[in-house]
Amino acid sequence: MEILLIGGCFVFVLLAVLGGGYWFLREPAPVVETAFNIHLDQEDGPIRQTLERIGSILPPSSDLGSPVRRTLIAAGYREPDALQAFFGIKAVCAFSVALLFFVIGQRMDADAVAAVVFAVAGAGIGYMIPERALKAMEGRRQQRLRQALPAALDLLVLSLEAGQGLDSAMLDTSRELRQVYPDLSEELSLAHLEMRAGHSRAEVLSRLAQRTGDAEVKKLTNLLLDGDRFGASLGPALRNHAKYTRTRRRQMAQEQARKTSVKLVFPVFFLIFPCVLLVTLGPAVLRLMEGMAKMSGN
């Protein structure tokens, strides 16, 4: 009972640290919008500042080409100090899990060497937990971006066929998608601001594909780049691409539906089938045992 209480306490602390890190690292929503700029609230809390101080010891602060920073940007955390805060979370998680494993090793009446080995193993596990969580958040954000693409393509087609340019069409699309699909709206708004800052359209679209890390967004940026390079009409191409994305989403949904029957084999066999056997064969087994007991008694 004491081991369970101590383990539950440390698991609660670990989850609290992870939840606090996610809360202070998440991308802030735009609070003030004008016709040409978006103001983002960049106020940092004390917990995040503490995590940044801890994490600044581990990675170089100017490592812009780090794979971890690219993963953070793909997950939606593009602040300059997000890398330090993330490594601070990893250090805190590693220390917490190492302490938990050390206590468990001592409660198991292990010697000091075994307890230290337990602590080292726990530190390694705790150090990898935030990275796995970040990968999961990156995948969920990419999925949200894929879900928003058909609606964004329809809005782009309407804006372009109404006579607007691509820059203004992207801005209007980002405004319309702000409430329903905020992730894609932020990406399009950032791309529009980069083009207004003087960057070329090819460079901005390439950065958009690199930031998201999603294959479907990369196909869209390649389509826009080809249209801009060859001077082709983007309206029909974007309409066909919207049909393609919807068809692909429908095919993926059908694929997941067909996989469901296969995935249900193990729960049915290990969870439902024993209960069915217990209900159907249980009374017969009890009667058989009673009959065998009477026969042996006679």
Domain boundaries, the chain: 2-140, 144-258
Strands (E), the chain: 30-33, 38-40
Average pLDDT over residues 72-86: 82
Q: Give me 137's structure tokens.
A: 């958040």
Q: What tens digit of pLDDT does each residue of 103-150 get?
A: 887 777 667 777 788 888 888 888 888 889 889 998 899 888 888 888
Backbone angles phi, psi at 38, to 5 degrees: -130, 125
Place of tokens 């692909």: 248
pLDDT value, residue 51: 58
Strands 38-40 and 30-33: what pairing? antiparallel
Rounded to an integer, what distance in angstroms lies between the CA atom of residue 33 and that of residue 189?
A: 11
Phi, psi of 40 (to 5 degrees): -110, 140
- In the predicted model, what is the mean pLDDT of residues 187-201? 86
Residue 286: predicted pLDDT: 84
Which CATH code is given to the segment(s) 144-258?
1.20.81
Residues of the chain above pLDDT 90, percent: 0
- Where is average pLDDT lowest: 18-27, 36-45, 190-199, 223-232? 36-45
The pLDDT of residue 27: 47
What is the DSSP secondary structure assignment for residue 272, as one 8-state letter?
Answer: I
Report pLDDT for 28: 44
Helix, strand or coil, per DSSP, at residue 288: helix
Q: What is the pLDDT of residues 11-69, one digit of tens each?
A: 776 677 666 666 655 544 443 343 333 333 444 566 666 655 655 555 544 455 678 88
Q: Whole-angstrom Cα distance, residue 36 to residue 12? A: 45
